[in-house]
Amino acid sequence: MDAFLAAAAVAGQTPVLVVHNVPDRDCARRGAGGAGDAADYQRWIRDLAAGVAGRPVTVVLEPGAVADAVAGCVPDVAGRLALLRDAVSVLGSTGSARVYLDAGHPGWIADVDRLAAALRRAGIADAAGFALNVANFVGTEENVRYGHRLSDTLGGATRFVVDTSRNGNGPHPAPTVDGAPSWCNPPGRALGEEPAADPGPDRVDALLWVKYPGESDGACRPGEPDSGVWWPEYALDLARRAR
């Protein structure tokens, strides 16, 4: 991480870090794993905070963690949200980290009142805002509309960022593709809008490429790489279809 942060500083850029290590993350989906228990996670967060202290950094905190809690697949919702609240506090105390709590995407949690309530319990008041569409494919305009609804429910001032890395063609229209879920390496997708700070829409701090385009979502079909493995053929297909 030190080399990554140092390279960003030399380039005059603000690095984006994804914190994705909460216990029981992803509810046993392809990216499952995380810290062994709450104490391990809190130690890990404090080590991370020590590493970024004094260095400007944008943090996307725990993709899926709040939405999974709202969806009901987390065994200890109160414990999950308390860990997130602690992480927001510890990372925010560095004075150099802007923390965005992940809030899923428009196709995940329809009830923004329940989502807003969970975000409040997870410490959104002390965060820079929330993140939408991380590693997903929902179009930018739909995310902005959803973000405004969620922000309004939180009081109207909460800001947000949107992952546009692979949303150029929107999500796949079918729930499954060749027997696997369509959120996992769906064919026919495209790169989205390039990353930009202050892109224009109200309360949108940035469009980001949080998910590396070409990084596999998992070995969902024969021949597909494991989660997190670079897949050049998929990256090229995303690029060819970019508008």
pLDDT tens-digit map of 92-133: 999 999 999 999 999 999 999 999 999 999 999 999 999 999
Pairing of the two strands 129-132 and 180-181 = unpaired
Confidence of residue 32 (pLDDT cuts 50, 70, 90): low
Buried b (16+ CB within 10 A) or exposed e, 22-55: bbbbbbebbbeebbeebeebeebbeebbeebeeb
| Confidence (pLDDT) at 31 | 60
| Confidence (pLDDT) at 146 | 99
User: What is the value of pTM for the model shown?
Assistant: 0.96
| Confidence (pLDDT) at 243 | 85
Confidence of residue 141 (pLDDT cuts 50, 70, 90): very high
User: Which residues are CB-neighbours of 106 under 8 A, at least 6 positions away?
Assistant: 132, 133, 138, 142, 143, 145, 146
Average pLDDT taken over every residue of the chain:
96
Confidence of residue 27 (pLDDT cuts 50, 70, 90): confident
- Tell me if 87 sits within 8 A of 124, measured CB to CB: no
- Tell me if 228 sits within 8 A of 135, measured CB to CB: no
pLDDT tens-digit map of 33-70: 899 999 999 999 999 999 999 999 999 999 999 999 99
36 HSE (CA, 13 A, CB side): 3
Domains (ranges, CATH) in the chain? 14-240 (3.20.20.40)
pLDDT tens-digit map of 207-218: 999 999 999 999
